[in-house]
A and B are shown apart, each in its own frame.
Chain A
Amino acid sequence: EDQVTQSPEALRLQEGESSSLNCSYTVSGLRGLFWYRQDPGKGPEFLFTLYSAGEEKEKERLKATLTKKESFLHITAPKPEDSATYLCAVHPMDSNYQLIWGAGTKLIIKP
């Protein structure tokens, strides 16, 4: 069965303290992996797409990487405005349209 697991469930960091969020997946094959940010009461906001192992994408303080079994979202020198829930979703080969979603990591950055 296709599955996506995110860890940790929650992460509290001091401003400027770098860390990584994990998304591990078990799927028959991978069409693509997507990272989203979700603020309270809002819809998920697209951050990155990764398609193949070894691929990396960067945007400001965020960098996403992909291996054959997991993806990491690295956050460098975070600021309080980076506080949000970060969601990972996988498009498996055995689905044409449906994404498999992780439960998210709630990130809190303290000033």
Chain B
Amino acid sequence: EPEVTQTPSHQVTQMGQEVILRCVPISNHLYFYWYRQILGQKVEFLVSFYNNEISEKSEIFDDQFSVERPDGSNFTLKIRSTKLEDSAMYFCASKDGFNQPQHFGDGTRLSIL
């Protein structure tokens, strides 16, 4: 069964550094998402991406964050000038139709020191 894959599984970064989280969505999917989940808390929406542009973003997704789909297969989340409170699991998801379910990767655990 096709899967969403995310790399790395764990990223440790010094505060203030930039980090790029990578995702390969399911190949025929058209809608892409990033979420974060702080340990023990709710899944939080960050951003959705469709037709090569951001379609919706949350208040969390400020100028510190950016997303790219640099080629036909990868979808990246860049976090600039990381802060301690950015430590969380980051999940990528994709779906093939507007009202279809999203399928998630297993996440990148980001630890900011």
Contact = CB atoms under 8 A, between A and B. Distances in A.
Nearest to A35: B101
Interface size class of A (residues with CB under 8 A): 20 to 34
Dominant SS among interface residues on chain A: loop
Contact of B107 (A32, A42, A96, A98): A42
B51 to A, nearest CB: 11
Interface size class of B (residues with CB under 8 A): 20 to 34
Given A101-B42, A102-B42, A49 B101 contact: yes
B17 to A, nearest CB: 24
A103 interface: yes
Interface string B41-79: 111110010100001101000000000000000000000
A97 B106 contact: no
Contacts of B103: 46
Contacts of B105: 43
A87 B106 contact: no
B40 to A, nearest CB: 10
A45 interface: yes
Interface in A68-102: 87, 89, 91, 95-99, 101-102
Interface of A: 31-32, 34, 36, 41-46, 49, 51, 87, 89, 91, 95-99, 101-104
